[in-house]
Chains A and B, each alone.
Chain A
Amino acid sequence: MSLFKRPRPRRAKDIADTECPRESDVLDALASARWPQRVERELADHIASCAICQDVIAVASVIQADHDHAWREANVPSSGQMWWRAEMRARQDAIREASRPVTVAQGVAAMFALTLAAVVAWFAWPSVHGLLSSLGLTGDAQMTFAWPMLIPLAIAMGALLIIAPLAIYLVVSEK
């Protein structure tokens, strides 16, 4: 004989032990306020011998009492007020949603413009640098000379930042 108890295998009975067929009778007795004074003798005897029904009584009686209290305590807005709020929020959300493409377009355009500017600068700089070197300019003198040449590039970038989102927005909104 083993000194240690083996864990008991789970049987169908364990699962059946999770509920009692008289549970609904117990809940009926509670709901109709027959428990504990006016409940049938036979049901009272059953409850006294059934752990599940005792738990049901213990739990359901306090929850039902609390529910009644919560019902009285509930101070909910009127249905008209709630409908009006739901309607207003639906409107606001729809407008916010509709305005979103502009924001997205702005972001896309800014990234596009910055990338384009970087690419242009990357390819253009050796030519500008070569031109300046051939003119015999070095260091600060090169920057002083090159700065006016960068202004059109800056203007082009600015224009791109304004025109690109507009163009994208118009395309999106037309759709």
Chain B
Amino acid sequence: MFSRELTVDDLERLDRIATAAVDALQMDEDTFRAFYDRTARQVWAYLARITGDRSLADDLLQETYYRFPRADRAFTSDSHRRNYLFRIATNLAHDRHRRGRGVVNVPVPDENTPGALADGSDLAAETEQRTDLARAMARLKPREREMLWLAYAQGSSHEEIAESLGLRKSSIKILLFRARRRLAAALGGRS
């Protein structure tokens, strides 16, 4: 099949195209970095817990922050921007789930994690609680895990959850209720 060597003109043209692609990003570097510093850990924790896979969470985090600055959207507030970020992360997790990876497994809690003993709490009890939660979460539907995490870990309102998951606000109340009831039952009424 036909092929040809690249000329200097070609290289200059491609460089112009590449530079234009970077210029077309919807955020400048400083804005991106500040936003990333504020949100990256939250997004990672969300991805790690809804997929149950830390290395998958690493991959999806990168993909999320690659797609985010390319989104041609006008954000009215920081919360709107954050919800959209979670929506990208959620959609990526769903895509992986459909393709077979991201079947939620029960992560083994890392007992050597620095900070686990920092507050002087009972390490064994904490580890057991996290394992119970991971097992119970694994029994829920992906949508339920996402909703519960956003509501109780991120403290998102119903409106924010709806925006992050692409659902109608009116359906969040009942869906969240069912998800909460299922998780509470799976946790065995632990309080």
**Which residues of A come within 8 Å of B, CB atoms?**
15, 18-19, 27, 31, 36, 52, 54-67, 69-74, 76-77, 79-80, 82-83, 85-87, 89-95, 97-99, 106, 109-110, 161-162, 165-166, 173
Contact = CB atoms under 8 A, between A and B. Distances in A.
A110 B2 CA distance: 10
B53 interface: no
Nearest to B149: A63
Given A59-B148, A66-B130, A73-B113, A15 B17 contact: no
A90 B113 contact: no
| A-B residue pairs, 3 tightest by C-beta | A94-B21, A70-B45, A67-B153
B116 A69 contact: yes
A67 B126 CA distance: 12
B32 A63 contact: no
10 contacts: A18-B173, A59-B180, A62-B187, A63-B153, A70-B44, A79-B34, A86-B25, A86-B66, A89-B66, A99-B14
A172 B63 CA distance: 31
- Majority DSSP secondary structure for residues of B touching A: helix
Contact of B33 (A62, A72, A83): A83
Interface of B: 1-2, 4, 13-14, 17-22, 24-25, 29, 32-34, 36-37, 40-42, 44-45, 48-49, 54, 61-62, 65-66, 69-70, 109-110, 113-116, 126, 129-130, 132-133, 148-149, 152-155, 173-174, 177, 180-181, 183-184, 187, 189-191
B62 A83 contact: no
A62 B133 contact: yes
A79 B40 contact: yes
Given A66-B49, A91-B22, A93-B21, A15 B174 contact: yes
Contact of A79 (B2, B36, B62, B114): B36
A21 to B, nearest CB: 13
> Which of B17, B21, B34 has the most A CB atoms < 10 Å from its CB?
B21
A166 B2 contact: yes
B22 A87 contact: yes
Contact of A66 (B4, B19, B133): B133
